Each structure stands twice: as C-alpha cells, then as structure tokens.
Chains A and B, each alone.
Chain A
C-alpha cells in the first residue's frame, strides 16, 4: 500500500525551508474537466454588476460545486485579484446559507439538493456555466453572489414561534401527538430558509417559506393557541417586505431543496381565511407577553 499520511492523501511537510507551495499538494488536485464560468460580479449593493468570464481548469468530477469555485478563487488570489464572493457555511445542505442561481435554476440542475451538495459530475467537460445571485427585490445583492435575506428573519420574528418561556412547561410525554401529525409537522419543519423558492418564482413570492412554519406550528397541539394570530402576523410582515403574490405556478415546490410541498400553502391559506373571519376574537390576543 502507498505510504500516505494518516488517512488523507497528503504529502507530509517535513521542513518549511524546502517547502514549495505550488508543487506540494498538486498531485491529487486535478481532474480532467475544463469549464467556462460566467459569474455575476457586483462590488456592493449600490454598485452596478456585470458578468465576468473565468476558466475553471483541471476540475475533478468528485468536487462539489463550491469546491470548484474554491479552486477558481485560489487562482484569482494568487494573481492578486479579488476572489468571487458567495455565501456558504455547513456545506452539507442544512444551514441554508449557500444560494447560487446556476444555469437559470436555484441550486442548479438537480432536484432536492442545495448548491453545496451539487457535484461536478452533474456537468460535462467543456460546458459553460452561468452563475448568478438570487434575484428578488426583497433580497438585495450584498456582494457578487451573496444576497441579504434578512427579510426571512423578520417574518419569523413577527410570529414564527410558540410563546413559551424557559421552564415551567409540562412533561414532554403529557402531550401525545399522533405519529402521522408529528411526521407531517416535521416535513414542514425541514425548511432551511435558503430562499430558493423566492428565487424560482416569477412573482418572487415567499409563500412556500412562510407556509412551512405556519403549517408546522399549526398542525401541532402546542401551536393551537396562537394558530390564527400567527398566520396573520407572518403574512402581514411578508407583505411588508415586498414579496410578490402567489399565482400557483408551483416553481417554488419544484426547486425547493427540501421538497417542501404546496400543501403547506393550502394549509396556510385555510388558516389565513379562517383567521380573517374570526379576526375580532383572535388577532393579537396575547397580552400575556
């Protein structure tokens, strides 16, 4: 067996005086794909943006899409140029931070995954790939491919919770919940807040995102006391943020990396209209805060 160090195919560094950064780790780096990237570059929210073309060479099909961008950024950095800025953190499809619009689709060509889970084996050698930020008035670009999605946080702050303080709550098993309900609430709760639904929608509607939280809490017994005030507060904030209306095109569901379904929107609409009927009784009746 090849003598490589502790599980990683790295060469050992034995001495810094003879160490050459260029040749050191190059052996496993390269693959055989060459790509052309058309990337949206924009210095900040005020500046005008434009597409810039880059070559991505020696890309391995095992790289993730973001690792491919890392390679491009390394070479830009070595030239003293500014690397391409994009949001990312967990790189395993759960934090919701990554957000690229790839060849006209949020999170790229594959179904039910985020950009960070997309691998280069989904592309072919020689391909040209267009990379843009989410496009929506409610998500202004902050730099290059990163946008400001704080509108989503403000919608959650408006009512995406059950008003319980720490301590003084009943034993967990005192609230039995049928497994089917618990599972369905879980499905809604898996939304990662990435914003792909908004980016996919021609109206830039945030209904899928908002309805996921409304559904999760609205299905659970713990969520009943605030069920109707919650939906009203969240929808009001959604409207205030400038998201568009829902015209049932279903693009959000098709592009959602977590497969949040349109059923959530139906549930939210039901609750919202019930709430309107009972507005007097239910709206903002939680003086307990």
Chain B
C-alpha cells in the first residue's frame, strides 16, 4: 500500500497557509449536523473537543478517569516551547523547526515540524487568554527557561506544574462547551473498539466502567487523543491508567501503527527502590538548567558512596566527573534526552553508579544554591524538590538528587498524514497517540506544544475538509457493523473473565516490562531482540491460559480493565520488538549497539532507513506487514547529530 502523507507542495514557510486556504469549509449552518467523537481529554483531546464545539459541531467526549481534568497531561512538569523570541536570544520559527528536526535525529517530516513551530506562538496567546498563570518576571511579562537540545530560552512554564495549568485551561474551555450543550461528556467510559463501515470510521464501542454496560456511539469522524504507550514497560513515568487499548484496537481495525520502537527514556527520574514499585517519578528536565550531572571519577569512590562510607558532599571536586559538561561543552547538561540517558547508563555500566543499587548518578544543586540562594531555587523548583523528598526521604537542598533514566514518552503511534488523518478515512489521531512530529527523539517541552497545536490549531481546519467531502448525512446507527463490533467486544471481555489461572495480571505486566526494558530499552541488539520476540510470544500464550481475572462485567472491575490493557500491551510489545529488529540503524532513542560512531553516539543509516515504518495488522498471529513512507528533506541537510 502506498502511503501518501499529503504534505502540501511549495516552500516550507508557505505550506500551512496555502494548505489552509485550499481546504474545503463546512458551512456554519451545516456544522451542527455533524457528530464528532473525541476519545481522550488530555491536552490534545480537550483542546480539540472545545475548539470543534466552538465551531458548531456536536461533540461527544470520552475519558476513563472520573473527570476529564485528570487526564495524564495533568502531570507534565517542566514547560511548553514556543518560538516567541521574547528573550531576543536569536529564536525564530525556523530555529525551533531546525532544533526539533535535529533533536528527532532526522526521522520526522519537515512539513509537519515546521507547522508545529509556526503555530507554537498562538498556543501561548490562547493559554494566557484562558487565564493560565504562567511564570512572569517583575515587569509583568512572561518568563522563560531553557530545555535540552536548544541554545535559546523558549520554554514557558508554570512552576513545575505546567501540564496541570495548561490542562486546566483546556478543561475550562471544554467545560464551557459542556455547559452550552455542545459537548456531551462521558467519564469513566473506556473505548474498546472502532466501528468501520465501508472503510470509513463511523463510531466506537465503549464500556461504562461503573455499570459494565457495552454501548456504541456513532459519529462522522472519530478522533483518538488517547495518549502514549510507555506503560508497555510496566514501570514508566506515565500514570497507572495510561494505556494503548484505543490505538491498538483501531490498529486491528486497519489503522497503521508507525515507528512503534521509538521510545523515549528520560534521563532524570527517581531510581527504582524495589519490586513493589508501581511507577517511576520524573524529575523535570528543567532541573538541568541549574543542576549539574556527575558521577565519581573512579569505581573505588563509587563503591564507597554505594556503601554509604562517604557522602556525596565529601567527594572532592577533582574526584567528580561532570560527564555531560566534559563530553559536550557547548550544550553541557542540556544535551537532548537520549544522549543524557545513554551517558548515565554508561557511567553505571562502568561501575561508577551511585545509590544503594548503583543504578544512579547525581544531579547536584549545590552550585546553584550558592549562586542564587536557596529561596530562588525553591521558587523555581520547589514542588519538584518536595516530590523528591517525599519519595526518597532525602533532602535535595542538602544533598544531590540521585537520578536514573526511565521510560517516559513514546514517539511512535498511529500513522497520520499532514491532516492528522490515519489511513482509515474518518479516523484521526492527535497528541501523543500519533507518531507525527518528534522523529526518533522528542525534545523537552515539545509534547505539550504538539498536543495543543493538534487540538487547537490543526484539527479544526483539517477535519472540516473531510466532513465537507462526506456530507452531513446522518450515520446509519443500525448498520450491522455496530452490532458486530459490540458483540466482538463482549466476546473479548468474556474471554478475559473466563481466565481463572494462577498468576495475576500485574505479574504478567511486570514480566512484559522486564522483557521490554532488558531487550528493547536503552540499548538493543539483533540477538536480544530476537530472544525478546520469542519470550513475548510465550508470555502471550501463557497469559491467555494462566492469568487470573476476578469479578464480573456488570460492576466496577479494575481487574478486568487492567487485563484488557495488559493483553493489548503484550501484542504491542511484540510489534515494538519487530520494528526495532527491522531498523538496523541507531537513531535518537533507538540505539542498536551494532550501529554507533567511534564516540559511542547513535549512527544513522540514511541510505536505507530514512523512512517511517508503518505497520499493517494482518490478523491474529500473522506477521504484520511493513509499509514505508520515505522521508524527504528539502531544507535541512542530514548530518551526524553533534552537541559537542
């Protein structure tokens, strides 16, 4: 199948404005004749639902939490990028575009990324108008901080709670439309399947998580804004409920899944303490503005630190290795995430890791506190320091934080074209759920930007074009495809509820996580991935015979919800490994040990792999088929990424 990304012709800077002009419009009086289903109320979903309702469409919005305000976007900490150039430090739309393409290790589309940079400036205006309390300077204007992979200061923030404030802004816009009757909100409702009629997406199947009722909803278009799949690793910085189910079931109904192996391992997370651990906590990248990353120079010093014979403060300056500053003098502690993570892993592999387990390096604020004073540091990062203290029982104002990489974000996702449409007409994917803009590595503070760009400023234009094409004729809700999809969902639930084996679903999830982290994590090899594939297949077979799922359908049943999600994660895990095996190069977060430069950096193979891998589902236990979208670079030159 040929994949047309529908990127408009013409010069980069004119693509989006020309395209907007060429898109068909829906007459204002006709808009209320269209029903739009938006699954997810994170930044992408809430902004899309509110904006489409403002235009006059009827929107049905869904989330699995008890309130739309609790979508996982709420947890984002550090900030949101925008090419405002308020600092006068040389930023521009082109620079943000360039940094993002380079940061993504030349595995994203020029056209999409340029548009993202272009609309970034509107996002900040929109959020301020909604009352989002961004950090300000004494003069009353907006403040900025720096994030990794950039040498300008373009990140807007609201203390360490930027995601919360942006989401509450989008939630308030959504609430206004709920109040006006233009959005109907379904909370504690989980999408279980997609309804496709004659090749077009026309609805969804849902389960009411309070009553177990299985329902169908029809719409002229379905927007999946269901977030990322980092929880395939069991432990990640994602919320416990974050899952791949909506995207995965859509994949099984025909939507291609792109670049599944591109996952981001974030360098600064609180290290694991034991097997009871249910999730990992991020320490925002913004901390690398002022914190200095180091490990002891020698294994002997590290050993003493691990055994608590000495404290970090007792390690003399000359015995410390500020390895990021040493290796990357121009970006220093602010190298992109994939680079920072790999270097931390290297320290640990060399035996220079610290903390009880040896799986950590230091993030030290002593210099910043000396330079700025404790109060200033508290004002900037107070809530992060508190969070660290709560979890570790260690005071980061007095001793350096211990950090280690953890799974954080997934660049892969449903394949979409320039209009955010999947290959199934009528099915769109927004936010972290799609694969679009970050290539093989996402820069910090760019996910919030992308989610809101998709929802506020892209989909309101591109969706109209499709709707105008299909016309406002009501969807036939009696079509047998609805009943069929509903029966399939019920059968799947019954199959899960029949599992009365000896091993809990959490245990399977944890096992899957070990396999993924071990073989498809920060460093990947042909041998390891091949082995992982076999292990996952065994795990899947074992799950479907030996898992325990308690309770029944007609009630709140967290065990059932979890089982459905883990079953989908297992299948996704296999596809990730397949994708990683196929991609015999290193790029961004995908690091194949076989492909590295003499300095140990990711070595791309542009001749063979400058494409998007879009996988097509071919049926139960059949190998998925690879479709390629070649990446065309007309404006930037592909080079070996360097942050030295």
Contacts and interface: CB of A to CB of B under 8 A. Distances in A.
Q: Which residue, of B54, B131, B161, B503, has the highest number of chain A Cβ atoms within 10 A?
A: B131
B274 A28 contact: yes
B70 A173 contact: no
A9 interface: yes
A166 B48 CA distance: 10
A228 B562 CA distance: 45
Interface string B498-510: 0010111011001
Contacts, number: 275
A88 B274 contact: no
A37 interface: no
A143 B556 contact: yes
Interface in A1-27: 1-2, 4-10, 12-13, 16-17, 21, 25-27
Interface string A27-54: 1110000000000000110000000000
Given A70-B276, A156-B175, A161-B176, A1 B351 contact: yes
Nearest to A164: B129
Contacts of A94: 74-75, 161, 163-164
Interface in A233-287: none
Nearest to A176: B140
A289 to B, nearest CB: 6
Interface residues of B, number: 107
B514 interface: yes
Contacts of B216: none
B275 A25 contact: yes
Contact of B514 (A8, A80, A93, A172): A8
A89 B128 contact: no
Interface stretch (B277-285, B434-442, B589-597): B277-285
Contacts of B274: 9, 28-29, 60, 62-63
A167 B54 CA distance: 11
Contact of A169 (B65, B129, B277): B129
Contact of A166 (B50, B86, B506): B50
Given A91-B239, A166-B50, A152 B67 contact: yes
Contacts of A43: 555
B364 to A, nearest CB: 20
A8 B277 CA distance: 10
A173 B87 CA distance: 12
A219 B175 CA distance: 20
Interface string A171-185: 111011111001101
Contact of B51 (A157, A160, A166): A166
Interface string A65-78: 01100110010011
B140 A179 contact: yes
B277 A67 contact: yes
A21 B507 contact: yes
Nearest to A75: B504
B542 interface: yes
A148 B504 CA distance: 28
A66 B239 CA distance: 13
A158 interface: yes
A163 interface: yes
A103 interface: no
B210 A119 contact: no
B173 A166 contact: yes
Given A8-B235, A44-B555, A149-B67, A13 B515 contact: yes
B66 A16 contact: no
Interface stretch (B118-126, B146-154, B289-297, B474-482): B118-126
B128 A175 contact: yes
A289 B522 CA distance: 51
A212 B505 CA distance: 40
A179 B239 contact: no
Contacts of B511: 13
Nearest to A158: B179
A217 interface: yes
Contact of A178 (B131, B140, B348): B140
Interface string B565-578: 00000000000000
10 contacts: A1-B358, A7-B405, A21-B502, A29-B275, A80-B548, A92-B387, A93-B387, A176-B139, A217-B131, A222-B129
